[in-house]
Homo-oligomer: A and B are copies of this chain.
Amino acid sequence: MKQRPPKLTEIADRLDISAATVSNALSGKGRVSAELAERIRQVAEELGYVPSVSARALRTGLSGVIGLVLPDIGNPLFPQIAQAIENAATDAGLGVLIADSRGSIQAQTEAIQHLRDHGVDGMIVVPRRGSRVADVGCPVAMIDSPSTPGNTVSADHWCGGFLLGEHLRSLGHRKVLLIGNHRDSIVQTDRLGGVRAALQGTEVERVWLDSLPGDQPIGALDPVRWYSEGFTAFVTVSDLQALRVLTALQSAGIAVPSMASVTGFDDLVFASSVIPALTTVRMDMPKVAEIAISALKRAIEAKSGDGAETVRADPDRVPMTLVIRRSTGPVHEEAGAKPRLPHPQQEN
């Protein structure tokens, strides 16, 4: 049953030519006459020839595999990232080896080591909050906030926040609460900074969950009290928190969006299926992935030329998109805006 994959020499033997010629023909370097090349390609196809990656890697020093280091695979944003990277890499003929730097920065370093030991040509890393990635010894593309030094590509979180802020302002909100998770996250700071900038002249307060009492930061969220203090809009830094706020309000009888507006970030998988669906800000992951992969590819190719192996610096900002859904609405004190009743049956 088991049919060993055909080797290069088998094609050569079949056609009574040298392995070198087969290799040249298949790699399309053009040192072979067009018709012979064509015949070679045919036979290769016929035999179902697939070059041995290990042999090629050994010879060329390139494995055709890159590593993807994520701060926490358990993060709900991960699927989007992984999927986008996997697609872009596959299109570029690259394989993707995953590594989870769960927990500590030390684990991140270990994960990077591990990937290197496995012979990746380069890696894409989404660093942990506030961590710097030491010199890795192979090309690295970093996906982080644009304001992070050494960053390769990222969405423009600040602008995304700005868009959101404008939206809330246009809805007439006059007292807005900004809810962040970790104050040392540059991404979160950027997002909320953008929101605040768009809300000049309206009353804005910001709270960081990691500085609230309690073990579980999210448990410290108390939207009902905040509502009673007069806030009509709650801006969170992630759909996960927006969901918490939304359900907390709803289960206390505070209707969304007729009594309060709630927003998230990232357009996580559940954002569109909740009722009311979440207004959120989405980044163009495929674009981010594509830029990261192509930067990495260039770096890898450059490396085989000279010895350069530094982070590719050409920070690109991918724009973010505001997705307006039913969790935001006009403030009902506004003239002409009657309090809306929730319409759960209606589609998003």
Interface residues, chain A, with chain B CB atoms under 8 Å away:
1-3, 50, 52-55, 57-58, 63-65, 73-76, 78-80, 82-83, 86-87, 90, 95-100, 102, 114-119, 135, 137, 216, 218-219, 222-225, 240, 243-244, 246-253, 255-256, 269-270, 273-276, 307, 309, 342, 344-345, 347-348
Query: In the complex, are the beta carbons of B54 and A58 less than 8 A apart?
Result: yes
Query: In the complex, are the beta carbons of B246 and A247 less than 8 A apart?
Result: yes
Q: Which residues of B contact A96 (CB under 8 A)?
A: 97-98
Tell me the nearest residue of chain B to A81, going by C-beta. B73
A240 with B270, Cβ < 8 A, contacts A78-B79, A247-B246 known: yes
Tell me the nearest residue of chain B to A85, going by C-beta. B98
Q: Which residues of B contact A223 (CB under 8 A)?
A: 344
Q: Which residues of B contact A64 (CB under 8 A)?
A: 118
Query: In the complex, are the beta carbons of A243 and B342 less than 8 A apart?
Result: no
In whole angstroms, what is the CA distance A100 to B83 when docked? 7
Query: In the complex, are the beta carbons of B63 and A74 less than 8 A apart?
Result: no
A2 with B307, Cβ < 8 A, contacts A250-B250, A344-B224, A347-B219 known: yes
In whole angstroms, what is the CA distance A87 to B115 when docked? 14
Tell me the nearest residue of chain B to A308, going by C-beta. B2
In whole angstroms, what is the CA distance A248 to B344 when docked? 5
Q: Which residues of B contact A222 (CB under 8 A)?
A: 345
Query: In the complex, are the beta carbons of A65 and B275 less than 8 A apart?
Result: no
CB distance from A67 to the nearest CB of B (A): 9
28 pairs, CB–CB < 8 Å, chain A vs chain B = A1-B307, A1-B309, A2-B137, A2-B307, A53-B54, A53-B57, A53-B117, A53-B119, A54-B57, A54-B119, A58-B58, A73-B79, A73-B83, A74-B83, A76-B79, A78-B82, A79-B79, A83-B100, A83-B102, A219-B347, A219-B348, A222-B345, A225-B345, A240-B270, A247-B275, A248-B275, A248-B344, A252-B342
Query: In the complex, are the beta carbons of A53 and B86 less than 8 A apart?
Result: no
Q: Which residues of B contact A243 (CB under 8 A)?
A: 243, 270, 273-274
A344 with B98, Cβ < 8 A, contacts A79-B73, A119-B54 known: no
Q: Which residues of B contact A115 (CB under 8 A)?
A: 95
CB distance from A77 to the nearest CB of B (A): 9
CB distance from A311 to the nearest CB of B (A): 13
Query: In the complex, are the beta carbons of B118 and A95 less than 8 A apart?
Result: yes
Tell me the nearest residue of chain B to A61, going by C-beta. B54
Query: In the complex, are the beta carbons of A97 and B251 less than 8 A apart?
Result: no
A99 with B73, Cβ < 8 A, contacts A137-B2, A276-B251 known: no
Query: In the complex, are the beta carbons of A251 and B250 less than 8 A apart?
Result: yes
Q: Which residues of B contact A270 (CB under 8 A)?
A: 76, 240, 243, 270
Query: In the complex, are the beta carbons of B52 and A58 less than 8 A apart?
Result: yes
In whole angstroms, what is the CA distance A309 to B297 when docked? 35
A251 with B344, Cβ < 8 A, contacts A244-B275, A269-B74, A273-B244 known: yes
CB distance from A230 to the nearest CB of B (A): 18
Query: In the complex, are the beta carbons of B82 and A73 less than 8 A apart?
Result: yes
Q: Name A65's contact: one of B74, B97, B102, B269 (CB within 8 Å).
A: B97
In whole angstroms, what is the CA distance A326 to B76 when docked? 22
In whole angstroms, what is the CA distance A274 to B255 when docked? 16
Query: In the complex, are the beta carbons of A80 and B74 less than 8 A apart?
Result: yes
Q: Which residues of B contact A344 (CB under 8 A)?
A: 223-224, 247-249, 251-252
